[in-house]
Amino acid sequence: MNLTTMVTMLLGGMGKSILIYFLTLLGALPLGLLVAFGRMSKVRPLQLAVKFYISVMRGTPLMLQLMVVFYGPFYLFKIPTGSGYRFAAVIIGFIINYAAYFAEIYRGGIESIPKGQREAAQVLGYSRPRTFLTIILPQMVKRILPATTNEMITLVKDTSLAFAISYSEMFTLAKKIASSHTTLMPFVVAGVFYYVFNFLVAFVMERCEKRLSYYQ
């Protein structure tokens, strides 16, 4: 098997990996903010429930979580899941896991803003939503960018965990080709793919940091 055929075979998988990546970010970045609000809530039961959710998401393997999301509905609740569910399970699993990590990053960012910022806004008459959106959030984003970049880079590599439920993203395909053709080449191609992907992510995030460096 020559390299071109192999890359062509892997191409579809790459597309799927990229899709998992962006759909996860699309879901987890905003969901993380909601989770962070829950975690900081003054309503004690809500706060504790969210704390428990975060602790489970961070304390158990993502691979296991993917399996629970995929097999759980049928084995636990006897809900039949169609063939389309495999992809949905991957996305749901990644989103609820990453939302927990993002939530803690957001919380750290929000709590690091000096309380004088809120007080200045309050005395000037800003509403609470306006204070959050125009005063707190922009300053928070700047502070959490490096930590968020870390998570975004880990996510690129974590997309390969979808192989646990046999979703045919890039890594699953590479493994299949490698064992059927007894060659390591697919793994080399996979490695290059993840590296280049992450290089681009790091590049884009660095640009974002530069754009926000107009103030201290």
Partner 1 sequence: MNILSMQNIRKSFGETEVLKDISLSVSEGQVTAVIGPSGSGKSTLLRCATLLETIDGGSIRYLDMEAAREEDGRAKYASPAVLKQVRACFGLVFQNFNLFPHFSVLRNVTDAPIHVAGRSRAEAEEEARVLLRRMGLEEKAGAYPGQLSGGQQQRVAIARALAMNPKMLFFDEPTSALDPELTAEVLKVIRALAEEKMTMVIVTHEMNFARLVADHVIFMDGGVIVEQGGPEIIDNPTQERTRAFLNKLEK
Min dist. Cβ of residue 196 to partner 1 (A): 34
Helix axes 3-40, 137-158, angle to 10 degrees: 140
Interface with partner 1 in residues 15-74 (CB under 8 A):
none
Q: How far apart are CA 205 and CA 9, in angstroms?
A: 30
Q: How far is CA 96 from CA 11, 51, 92, 194, in A?
A: 27, 14, 6, 22
Min dist. Cβ of residue 148 to partner 1 (A): 17
- Asked whether position 134 contacts partner 1 by CB under 8 A, the answer is yes
Binding mask 142-181 for partner 1 (x = CB under 8 A): x---------------------------------------
Min dist. Cβ of residue 109 to partner 1 (A): 13
Q: Which is nearer to partner 1, 128 or 157 (CB)?
A: 128
Interface with partner 1 in residues 102-121 (CB under 8 A):
114, 116-117, 119-121
Min dist. Cβ of residue 135 to partner 1 (A): 6
Asked whether the beta carbons of 13 and 194 are under 8 A apart, the reply is no
b/e map 174-194, b = 16+ CB within 10 Å:
bebbbeeeeeebbeebbeebb
Q: How far apart are CA 93 and CA 76, in angstroms?
A: 16
The residues binding partner 1 (CB under 8 A) are 114, 116-117, 119-126, 130, 134-135, 138-139, 142, 214-216
